A = this chain, B = another copy of it.
Amino acid sequence: MKSREIRLVRHFTGPVKPDYFELAEVELPEPGAGEVRVRNAFLSVDPYMRGRMIGVKTYVDPFQPGQPMDGGAVGQVVDSKADGFAPGDWVMSMHGWREGYTAPAAGLMKIDASLLPAQAYLGIAGMPGLTAYAGLKRMIGLKEGETLWMSAGAGAVGTAGIQFAKAMGAHVIATAGGPDKTAFCRSIGADAVVDYKAESDLAGALRAAAKPFGGIDAYYENVGGDHLQAALDVIKPFGRIAACGMIARYNDDTPAPGPSNLTQIVAKKLTIRGFIVTDHFDMQGEFIADLSRWIGAGQVRLHDTVYEGIERTPDAFMGLFTGANTGKMLVKL
């Protein structure tokens, strides 16, 4: 069984370019004892992967040039020499950026594709969903009746975050770039949406949007830069900020200066908590219980942007930085 895969050509800083990736084909070996051979159906591309292309150890190891990259994937078992794994079973793995793989079954997670579509486990029921959930529940401690500003509201985490926060009984102000994305945020339940690309005064627009709800109690930080500056400006005293990413900064060649109003952290007695979803897997049970209830009640729905074909994976990844996705960005094989 042949499998095409995307390899990293070299480490780089600055904007992502197509030349940094190459397509290659390999023959997948027969599974050995305890192994399975899997054909992937959906691949995930995520902003955090950008950090693994720089060649410096951050919170995950860098990708290696000449090797296929890793990432979330869901697929179906083709052959199995592992107990409990039969052909046709759906599995989630970190063996993404490739059409298939042969690997020990011990590193895979079986998923129930009858409960939710398989690709949901890469999005709202997967890492982006849990990221949104842990940020709102554990980092911010969002309460009913409070007002949340969700940045990057049309992204994978934002799409989950807007819906979860509404299901938790909060008011949600979302930000997104351009008329399509702002309309999308509204369609999934945001009470007010600010198009940050159309506003010269982001803080002023947020203040106006939040006025009917008495101001902003909490900020979910996905962006950094001018968004963080605006958040420090508009958030109410004792505000809480959860930061799981600052995508505006990831492609910087040289680090850009931060907001000039950090003294607001003191003046407003703010709490800022950075976090990475992998430290919050203990919430998985509680998360799936809440999510199933919310989906059952029609409060939360799935929203994906899907590119087709392994060769389009780099395009899908680059699209994350130009805002090509609404909801979770996926590649269908």
Which A residues from 159 to 199 make CB contacts under 8 A with B?
none
> Interface segment, A21-29, A148-156, A271-279, A281-289?
A271-279
Given the interface contacts A257-B257, A257-B258, A258-B258, does A263 sit within 8 Å of B276 by beta carbon?
no
Q: Are A245 and B266 in contact (CB under 8 A)?
A: yes
A15 to B263, CA, bound (A): 17
A263 to B223, CA, bound (A): 10
Q: Are B272 and A272 in contact (CB under 8 A)?
A: yes
Q: Are A274 and B279 in contact (CB under 8 A)?
A: no
Q: Are A246 and B258 in contact (CB under 8 A)?
A: no
Minimum Cβ distance to chain B for residue A213 (Å): 23
Does A200 make an interface contact (CB < 8 A)? no
Closest to A247 in B: B263
Chain A, residues 207-247, CB within 8 Å of chain B (1/0): the string is: 00000000000000000100010000000010000011110
Q: Are A243 and B265 in contact (CB under 8 A)?
A: yes
Q: Are A59 and B267 in contact (CB under 8 A)?
A: yes
Chain A, residues 52-84, CB within 8 Å of chain B (1/0): the string is: 000000110000000000000000000000000
Does A137 make an interface contact (CB < 8 A)? no
Collect the chain B residues with CB atoms within 8 Å of residue A245's CB.
266
Collect the chain B residues with CB atoms within 8 Å of residue A246's CB.
262-263, 266
Interface size, A (range):
35 or more
Q: Are B274 and A268 in contact (CB under 8 A)?
A: yes
Collect the chain B residues with CB atoms within 8 Å of residue A58's CB.
267
A272 to B255, CA, bound (A): 21
Does A256 make an interface contact (CB < 8 A)? yes
Does A114 make an interface contact (CB < 8 A)? no
A275 to B239, CA, bound (A): 11
Q: Are A258 and B262 in contact (CB under 8 A)?
A: yes
Interface centre among A59, A258, A259, A261 (most CB of B within 10 A): A258
Q: Are A256 and B266 in contact (CB under 8 A)?
A: no
Does A333 make an interface contact (CB < 8 A)? no
Minimum Cβ distance to chain B for residue A252 (Å): 8
Collect the chain B residues with CB atoms within 8 Å of residue A237's CB.
59
Minimum Cβ distance to chain B for residue A291 (Å): 24
A256 to B263, CA, bound (A): 11
Does A249 make an interface contact (CB < 8 A)? yes
Closest to A276 in B: B269
A228 to B258, CA, bound (A): 11
Interface centre among A228, A250, A275 (most CB of B within 10 A): A275
Closest to A240 in B: B273
Collect the chain B residues with CB atoms within 8 Å of residue A274's CB.
264-271
A315 to B256, CA, bound (A): 38
A245 to B269, CA, bound (A): 11
Residue A263 contacts which of B224, B261, B262, B275 (CB distance < 8 angstroms)?
A: B224
Does A322 make an interface contact (CB < 8 A)? no
Residue A275 contacts which of B228, B255, B269, B275 (CB distance < 8 angstroms)?
A: B269
The 3 closest A-B pairs by CB, nearest first: A257-B257, A258-B258, A255-B260
**A interface residues, Cβ below 8 angstroms from B:** 51, 58-59, 224, 228, 237, 243-246, 249-250, 255-276, 279
